[in-house]
Structure 1
Amino acid sequence: MLRAFRFGLVAIVLLGVAWYLASLQGHVTVEIGSYAASASTPVAILLLVFLVAVAIVALGLLRGALGLPRRVAAKRSRARRDAADAASLRALAALAAGDIGAASGHARTARRHAPDAPLPLYVSAETARQSGDATMAEALFADLARHGDAGFLGWRGLLTARPLPQDDEDGLALAAERARKAAASYPSSGWLREQRVRIALGQGRFGEAARLATDAPARAALAIMASREQGGEPLAIDWAREAVRAAPELPEAYLALYQARAKAGQTWRAKRVLKRGWRLAPHPDLGEAWLAEISAPLERAAAAARLAAVNPGHPESEALLARTARAARLTGEAERHERQSGGKGAWICKSCETEHEAWQPTCRKCAAIGSLGWVRHGTAAPTPPLLPAPQPAG
C-alpha cells in the first residue's frame, strides 16, 4: 500500500511539472555566429535537461575509463594478498603439524605473492628459525620489526632466533637493545619482561633484573645477588630487606641481610636478623654466621643452644646442637640431638629436583630463577616455583 502511495505521489509531481512546463509562454533563441536556433520555452527546457543528462553520463564513462587501470591493479593486488594469506595459513598449519618441508614451500609461495606483507614475513621467518637457518630467520624478523602493528613479532623473533648468549657481552648487549625496542612496541608483554630479567641476569645487572622480576622467588634471589653486589653500602641493606620481604622462607635472604648489616657496622641488628631467620627459615649457614666469632668449642655449644632456643625442636636446631656438642666432645648430648636432626640437607630445585651443594640464584640444570629451596631429608619438599625455566620458542 505504501509503495502504491509513493508511486502515485511521484506521478502527480511529474504531471504537475509537465503541465507547468507546457503552460510556459515564449521562445528561446540561441545564436552561434551566423547560425540561430529557436524553440518554445518548454522544448528548450527539456532539451537542456537532456543535454545535462548526456554530459553526466559521458563524464561517468570517462572517469570509469580513466580509473580502469587502477581498479584492475587493485583487483590484482587483492588477489595476490588473498593468495599470500591462504599460503601463509597453510604454512602455519604445517608448522603446527611439525612438517617443516611443507611449511617452507607454502612460505615461499606466500612471499612470492606478497614479499613485504607481515604475515608472509612472519611465517617465512618462523619456518627458517625452526629449520635451523638462524641467519635467514634474523633477516626476515628484522624486516618484520619495521612494520608498525606487527613490529613486536619481529623483535620477539630476533630475541628467539638464537639462544640467549651467556658469556658473550656483545651478544647480551644486542639482546638488551632488541628487548628495549620490543618493549616500546608492546610494553605489557609478560614474556618480554621475563626475557629482560634473564638478559639483565646474564649481564650481571642484578638490581635491574630484580626490579623487572614479577614473582616473589625470582625477585628474592635476584635481590640477594644485588645486595652482595653492593658490598657494604646502604643500598645492600635495602636489597637484602627486599629479599626477606619477597621470600621470608628463604634462609639466604636473612644471611644476605645479616652480611649487609654487619658490613655496615650494625652488629646488634645483624644478630637480630640471624635470630629472626632461625625462627622462620633455619639453615646451617645462619648457624655458622651466629657462631663465626666464637672459637672455643664449649662456648660455641652454649651459643648454639641460645640460637636453637629461638626454634626449639626443629631439625635444624637439633642438627646445630649435635654439631657443636660433638665438637665440644659432649658425646651423649651429640647423640641425643643427632637422633632428632633427620637426614642430610641439600638445596633442591623446585622445578627439576636437581640437588645443589650451595645456594645460587638459578638452577644449574634448568636455569629456573629463584627455584632452589633447602630440604633436609625426612622433611617436606619445597613448593613448586612461580617462575618456570625458560621454554623453547614456538
Structure 2
Amino acid sequence: MLRALFIFIVVALLSALAIWLADNPGDLTMHWRGYEIRTSFVVGVGVMALAAFLVLLVYRIVSGFVDTPASVAAFLEKRRQQKGFLALSRGMVAVAAGDAPEAKRYAAQAHKLLDAPPLTLLLAAQAAQLEGDEKSATGYFERMLEAPETAFLGLRGLFIQARRAGDREEALAHARRAFELRPQTPWAAQAVFEIEAAEEDWDAALATLDREVSAKVISRDKARRRRAVLLTAKAMTAAEAAHGQAGEARKAALEKAVALALDAVALEASFAPTVALAARLCGETGRARKAARLIEAAWDVEPHPDLADVWLDMIDGESGYDRAVRARSLAGRNPEHIESRILVARGAIGARDWAAAREALAAYAGPDATEMPTQRICELMAEIEEGAFGDRGAARGWLARALHAPQDPQWTGENYRSPRWSPIDPMTGAFDALVWTAPAIALAREEPRPDAFGQEPERPIEKAEAPAAPVVSLPERAAPKEPLAFQPPLPDDPGPEDADEAQEGERKW
C-alpha cells in the first residue's frame, strides 16, 4: 500500500513538472567558438541528461574492465577458502571418528588451501596422533611455537605428548612455560603444581600454589587444604632429616619440623596425619601439654588410630595404669566412636585390666554384641582371651575369625591401601588423593554368628565363589565360655597342647 502510494506521488510530481514546463517553454541559447545554438529549454535539459548518462555509462564500462582481474581473483580466493574450510571440517569429523587416514588427507588439503596455521597445524597434529606418529605430532606442535598466536596451543600439545611419553621433566618444562604465558589458565597451573608435588619439591609446589591463588584459578578453601598437606609433607621430611642428626643440629631440625607441623595444624586442625605428626614432634621437644591439646581437639571432631598411637606413647616411662587412665580420658571426649572403644581396650590391655578391656569391646564381641567386629577388634579379643585366661584355643578362634572379619579403614587410593598416610598416591602420583575408608565389599560381607551350641550356620554357596571350608563344631558339653566361629587349624598351627596343660572348661586344639 505504501509502495503504491509512493509511486503515485512520484508520477504525480513528474506530471506536474511536465505540465509546468509546457506552460513555460522558454529558450536556451549557447555560444561556442562563433557558433550559436538555440533550442527550447526542455530539449536542452534532455540533451544534458542524455550526455550525463552516456558519460556515466562509459565510466562504468572502463572501470569494469579495470576491476575484472581483481574480482576474478577475489572470487577464486573465496572459492578456495570455502574448499579449505570444508576440508578442515571434514578433517575434524574424521578425528572425532578416529579415522586417521581421512583426517591426515583432509589436514593436508586444509593446510594447502587455507592460510590458518593454528587450525591446520592442530588438525595435522591430531591426525598424526591418531596414526601413532608421535614424532610428526611433536613436530607440528613445535612449529606452532614459532608464532605468538599459536605458541600456547603448541605448548599444550607438547605437554600432552611429554606426559604420554612419561617424560615428567619435559612435561614440567612445557607446563611452566605455558603458565608463564597465561597464568590464569587452570590446566597449566594444575599441571605445574601436580608435577612439582609428585617430585616432592614442596617449596616449588608452595610457590606455585601462591601464584594460583594470586591468579584466582583455585578457590581459597582448596588452596588452604593443599597448603596444609604441603606443610605436613615438608614437616615429615624435616623430621626424618632431624632424626638422622645429633646434638644441637638435631634440636634445631626438630624445631623447624615442629614449626611446619603447627602451621599445617593451624590450617587443618582436624586432619589426623597433620595433628598426629605435630603432636608427636611436640612430645619429642618437651611440649606434652601442647600435644595433648592438639589431639583432644582433633579427637572431638574425628577419632583416628594415628591420634591414639601418639596419645598412648606420648609420655616416656609411664606406667600401664596411668596410660589406661589417659586413654579413658581421651575416649570420653567421643565415647560412642569405635576408635574410642579400641583406645580404651588398648590402654586396659597395657595395664593388664582384662575385664575393662573386654567391657570396652562388649558392643562388638560380647554376648550382647550389636556390631560386627573388625579385624583389629578380633585381634584385640584374641589378646584378651590369652592374657586373661591363657585360653589359646579361644585366642586362635578369634584370630581365625579375623581372617574373614570386615577390614578396618585404611588410606585408600587407586589400587592402593595402607595404614600409613602419604601426601602422594604411590600408584598414580596424584596429590592428596588418599582417603581414609574401609573397602565397601569387605564391609558388605557379614561373618555368620555361631548358634547357642557354638556351631556356625551353613553358608550359602554362590555361583561365583568356591564352597566354604567345612566347619568344626563343638559338642554341647564342651561349649566355650564365649560363642566363637571356630574354623579348622591354619597350616602353621602347632596343633593340640599337652593334656596336662589344658585347663578345666577349656577347649584346646
Q: TM-score, structure 2 length as denominator?
A: 0.60
Q: Which residue of 2 aligns with 1:384?
A: none
Displacement of 1:12: 2.8
Give yes or no for contact 2:91–2:123 (8 Å, CA) kept in 1: yes
Quote how far apart the aligned CAs of 1:225 are: 1.6
Whether the 8 Å CA contact 2:155–2:175 is kept in 1: the answer is: no
Query: What is the correspondence of 1:166-245 to structure 2 with a 5 Å cutoff?
Result: 168-169=168-169, 171-183=171-183, 187=184, 191-192=187-188, 194-202=190-198, 203-204=201-202, 205-207=204-206, 208-209=208-209, 211=213, 213-214=218-219, 220-229=225-234, 231=256, 237-244=262-269
Q: Output the CA distance in 2 between the equivalents of 1:82 and 1:294.
A: 83
Change (3 A) 1:254 1:197: same
Is 1:295 the counterpart of 2:317 in the alignment?
yes
**2:44 match:** 44
In structure 1, the gaps of 5 or more residues are: 382-394
Distance in 1 between residues matched to 2:314 and 2:290, nearest whole Å: 16
For residues 3 and 151 of structure 2, the distance between their equivalents in structure 1, rounded to whole angstroms, comes to: 55
Note the C-alpha offset of 1:274.
1.0
Please tell me the residue identity of whatever aligns with 2:26: Q
Mapped partners of 1:262, 1:173: distance in 2: 42
Partner of 1:390 in structure 2? none
Q: What percent identity do the matched residue pairs reach? A: 24
Higher relative contact order (CA closer than 8 Å, sequence separation 6+) = 1
Distance change (3 Å), C-alpha of 1:85 and 1:347: farther
Q: Which residue of 1 aligns with 2:470?
A: none
Cα offsets for 1:103-127 (capped at 9, x unmatched): 2222222212115354333222222
Deviations along 1:255-278, one digit per CA (max 9) or x if unpaired, are 356478779997644432211212
Which residue, 367, 375, 384 being the options, matches 1:343?
375
Q: Which residue identity is paired with 2:174?
A: L
What is the RMSD of the two structures over their aligned residues, measured on CA atoms? 4.0
Gaps of 5+ in 2: 236-255, 365-372, 377-407, 444-509
Shift, 1:142, TM fit: 5.2
CA distance in 2, matches of 1:263, 1:166: 41
**Within 2, Cα distance between the matches of 1:262 and 1:164?**
46
Tell me if the contact between 1:346 and 1:355 (Cα under 8 Å) persists in the aligned partners. Answer: no
- Distance in 2 between residues matched to 1:54 and 1:265, nearest whole Å: 110
**Corresponding residue for residue 319 of structure 1:** 342
Q: With structure 1 as the length reference, what TM-score do the two structures score?
A: 0.75
Compared CA separation, residues 240 and 101, structure 1 to 2 (3 A): farther
Q: In structure 2, how many angstroms separate the alpha carbons of the residues matched to 1:261 and 1:24? A: 119
Alpha-carbon separation, structure 1, partners of 2:442 and 2:110: 56
User: Quick check: 200-209 or 283-292, which moved more?
Assistant: 200-209
SS of aligned partner of 1:161: helix
> How many angstroms apart in 2 are the aligned matches of 1:310 and 1:243?
20
Change in CA separation of 1:37 and 1:165 when aligned onto 2, cut-off 3 Å: farther
Partner of 1:124: 124
Q: In the aligned structure 2, how far is the partner of 1:213 from the partner of 1:256?
A: 27
CA pair 367-169 structure 1, distance change in 2 beyond 3 A: closer
Contact 1:342–1:378 under 8 Å retained in 2? no
Larger radius of gyration: 2
Aligned counterparts of 1:131 and 1:343: Cα–Cα separation in 2: 52
2:372 counterpart of 1:310: no
- Give the 5 Å matches for 1:74-223: 74-141=74-141, 146=147, 153-163=153-163, 168-169=168-169, 171-183=171-183, 187=184, 191-192=187-188, 194-202=190-198, 203-204=201-202, 205-207=204-206, 208-209=208-209, 211=213, 213-214=218-219, 220-223=225-228
